[in-house]
């Protein structure tokens, strides 16, 4: 990549940057937490979709990765990762075929919340010489997928056990709706209540004679609680590696390592500056972008290809100046770019293509 | 493209669809409006970033295109379009060099709101054997770029006239902040007031002895007013070609031709369905996606890779069913995809790569 070795401010804008020191600190902070615990980290690659970052998480101790889509899992398996969970139900026949093909090259697990879907998965592996690991997806109040905990989960687990070709690996529960609950103590109480439902369901299944080796749950916002609950075996966390302005408010122990480099293109008035990076470079479904490392500049508007900054009297933002913006939404911002530029000591150390960018299928 | 000829519901999901009949109606509706008028249409390609769509707009009568970025202009020039306006100030030296190179292959115009920027443009064309057309960018209250109308604009225009290599082509004014003003009659009054400032500035410049051949302004939300104002020579409209759920409320004469095909992956309860297309396929900085052509289904939540639908009793949304979603934000949704699938009579007639997708630089 021709960008490597350039000074940061020599990059064409908009450009997606990673502060490599901060990212490595984030990886270490999370790895330190899990050292010696019963629960392990399963790194969620949906946030970066980039193999080298997944490998860095694995090297630091993550037991495997999880992906939102089959396409993303294909990218990670192709990069050499052997333990990959897909965290959405896979129902389309063509996608089930891809999942089975992938299971010939890695350990693939997938959540199930419907008995017919389980049967379709079992039919697809028949004669293929592989097993698919499935997790009963437990609805924990997020309003998304999942069967209710307790008896409904038990009934689904029994029906899965009867199917050849599927290995019931345990339970998955996603409590994304509490990841950002404030204050953090209230979040802790709510997570413990929800994970309690998961653990009770696990025990119900065990009393029914099943083995339930895996309970997979959690997120960056809940890792420190989920990762301490007896019976939880893995925590799915992704955002911690790069963070965003929004999530950082809720887990400030991880630094904002991602930013978008932009250029001031207009100073129409003394209190207003316009940059060349807007919603096509910075995803803003919620929250407001922050200006990184400069006082007196505040984001007051984001348009398709421009961000509007309010400039206080003393602040410096001349036409042509470079401004770094911390996006409010990590996953969405990464999706808008072709590559990360890894920055250290003011220079471009790495240019990493976002190989899984278009793996939403 | 292997997709061509497939039935729509055979497409892998998420997939970006264009209803070709509706799109062609939109193109005709806009072309009919401009037939015989003093003002012409300049099609804004930022919404689709795809050459064949720009060419369809030109064939229907658009005089040229406008683009938000140099990269987008490069894509359009490479596709054979000869009249291209960039609608943002271009200030970075590397980007100015690209603009000058582009001017050797097409008529390129660019807005200016700063005398130093004008000088930098003039320096860059020196000895290159080309001219750059510049428009004085007039701030019309949107809070973005632009010099104030009246005397400040006149002063900037005079300084541009003194520079060799720049051809002062006229004025540009963007009134995006009123494009969606309701009721429409109030919008009309406000547009006429704002365009009045543009026309007064044009007349001020003419009294000063300048020629002002071009006054370029407007948008899909204002075309029917801007396009009738004496002195306005071109209207910049883009969204009308494909539309989105949000803008359609304000200019209902253009139909929603864009949708995202998705699959129901979970029916966790009788009143809830979960699809496989979320914010990574449907841009939602504002407004809510709509379900296309199906009663009893309503979008109640959008997550990264899922949309949550409320299902009324009679509605049909089984696991595996295909659902079309009309995005609330056209430009952002296009940016998330690799290609359009053009649909007619239920089949894929065209698969068009979004060639300018990554032209935000």
Task: Supply the ipTM of this predicted assembly.
Answer: 0.95
Mean pLDDT of chain A: 97
Residue B278 has pLDDT above 70, yes or no: yes
Residue B316 has pLDDT above 90, yes or no: no
What is the rounded distance in angstroms from the CA atom of residue A112 to the CA atom of residue A171?
A: 9
Residue B168 domain flag: yes
Residue A289 domain flag: yes
Query: Chain B partners of A146 at a C-beta cutoff of 8 Å?
Result: 266, 268
* Whole-number pLDDT of residue B157: 98
Find the CATH number of the domain harbouring B142: 3.20.20.10
Number of structural domains (chain A) is: 2
Residues A191 and A278 in one domain: no
A314 band by pLDDT with thresholds 50, 70 and 90: confident
Residues B121 and B215 in one domain: yes
Residues B181 and B330 in one domain: no
Residue B30 domain flag: no
Rg (CA), chain A: 22
Q: Among the three residues B241, B272, B297, which one is the final residue of a domain in this structure?
A: B241
CA distance B27 to chain A (A): 23
Q: How many of the other CB atoms lie within 10 Å of CB of A28?
A: 12
Helix (H, G, I), strand (E, B) or coil at B163: coil
What is the rounded distance in angstroms from the CA atom of residue B42 to the CA atom of residue B28?
A: 14
* Whole-number pLDDT of residue B1: 62
| Nearest Cα residue in chain A from B87 | A305
Residue A359 domain flag: no
Q: Which of B167, B160, B23, B175 has the alpha carbon at shortest distance from B108?
A: B167
Residues B223 and B267 in one domain: no
Residues B70 and B46 in one domain: yes
What is the rounded distance in angstroms from the CA atom of residue A32 to the CA atom of residue A36?
A: 9
| Nearest Cα residue in chain A from B287 | A285
Query: How many contacts does A have with B, using Cβ atoms within 8 A?
Result: 152
Per-residue pLDDT tens digits for A186-241: 999 999 999 999 999 999 999 999 999 999 999 999 999 999 999 999 999 999 99
Per-residue pLDDT tens digits for B217-230: 999 999 999 999 99
* Whole-number pLDDT of residue B275: 98
Residues B99 and B65 in one domain: yes
Query: Chain B partners of A12 at a C-beta cutoff of 8 Å?
Result: 92, 94-95, 361
Residues B12 and B107 in one domain: no
Residues B283 and B308 in one domain: yes
Are B320 and B262 spatial neighbours (Cβ–Cβ below 8 Å)? no
| Nearest Cα residue in chain A from B112 | A266
Strand partners, B112: B136
Per-residue pLDDT tens digits for B206-263: 999 999 999 999 999 999 999 999 999 999 999 999 999 999 999 999 999 999 999 9
Residue B32 domain flag: no
Residue A3 domain flag: no
Residues B46 and B165 in one domain: yes
* Whole-number pLDDT of residue A316: 85
Residue A157 domain flag: yes
Are A305 and B69 in contact (CB < 8 Å)?
yes
What is the rounded distance in angstroms from the CA atom of residue A158 to the CA atom of residue A162?
A: 7
Residue B70 domain flag: yes
Question: Which residues form the domain of B327?
Answer: 8-16+253-353
Find the CATH number of the domain harbouring B277: 2.40.37.20
What is the rounded distance in angstroms from the CA atom of residue B5 to the CA atom of residue B231?
A: 47
Per-residue pLDDT tens digits for B34-68: 999 999 999 999 999 999 999 999 999 999 999 99
Residues A183 and A217 in one domain: yes
By Cβ distance, the residue of B14, B143, B263 closest to A301 is: B143
- CA B310 vs CA A343, B269, B276, B291, B297: distances in Å: 45, 10, 15, 11, 6
* Whole-number pLDDT of residue A347: 98
Residues A102 and A226 in one domain: yes
Residues A177 and A133 in one domain: yes
């Amino acid at each position: 990549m021709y960008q490597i070795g350039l000074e940061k401010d020599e990059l064409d804008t908009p450009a997606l940057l990673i502060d490599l020191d901060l990212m490595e600190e984030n990886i270490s902070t999370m790895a330190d937490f899990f050292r010696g615990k019963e629960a392990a980290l399963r790194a969620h690659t949906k946030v970066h979709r980039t193999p080298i970052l997944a490998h860095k998480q694995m090297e630091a101790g993550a037991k495997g990765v999880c992906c939102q889509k089959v396409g993303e899992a294909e990218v990670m398996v192709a990069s050499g990762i052997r333990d990959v969970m897909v965290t959405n139900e896979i129902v389309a026949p063509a996608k089930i075929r891809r999942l089975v093909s992938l299971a010939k090259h890695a350990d693939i697990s997938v959540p199930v919340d419907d008995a017919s879907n389980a049967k379709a998965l079992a039919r697809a592996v028949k004669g293929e010489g592989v097993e698919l690991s499935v997790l009963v997806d437990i609805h924990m109040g997020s309003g998304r997928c999942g069967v209710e905990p307790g008896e409904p989960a038990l009934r689904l687990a029994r029906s899965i056990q009867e199917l050849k070709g599927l290995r019931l690996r345990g339970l998955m529960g996603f409590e994304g709706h509490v990841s950002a609950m404030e204050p953090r103590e209230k979040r802790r109480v709510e997570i413990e209540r929800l994970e309690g439902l998961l653990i009770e369901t696990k025990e119900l299944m065990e009393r029914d004679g099943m083995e339930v080796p895996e309970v997979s749950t959690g997120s960056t916002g809940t890792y420190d609680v989920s990762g301490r609950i007896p019976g939880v075996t893995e925590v799915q966390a992704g955002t911690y590696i790069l963070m965003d302005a929004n999530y950082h408010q809720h887990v400030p122990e991880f630094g904002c390592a991602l930013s978008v480099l932009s250029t001031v293109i207009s100073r129409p008035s003394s209190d207003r500056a316009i940059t060349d990076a807007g919603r096509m470079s910075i995803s803003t479904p919620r929250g407001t972008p922050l200006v990184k490392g400069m006082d007196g500049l505040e984001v007051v508007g984001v348009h398709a290809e421009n961000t509007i900054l309010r400039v206080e009297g003393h602040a410096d933002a001349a036409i042509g100046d470079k401004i770094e913006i911390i996006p409010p939404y990590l996953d969405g911002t990464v999706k808008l770019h072709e590559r990360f530029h890894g920055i250290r000591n003011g220079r471009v150390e790495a240019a990493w293509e976002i190989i899984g960018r278009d793996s939403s299928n």
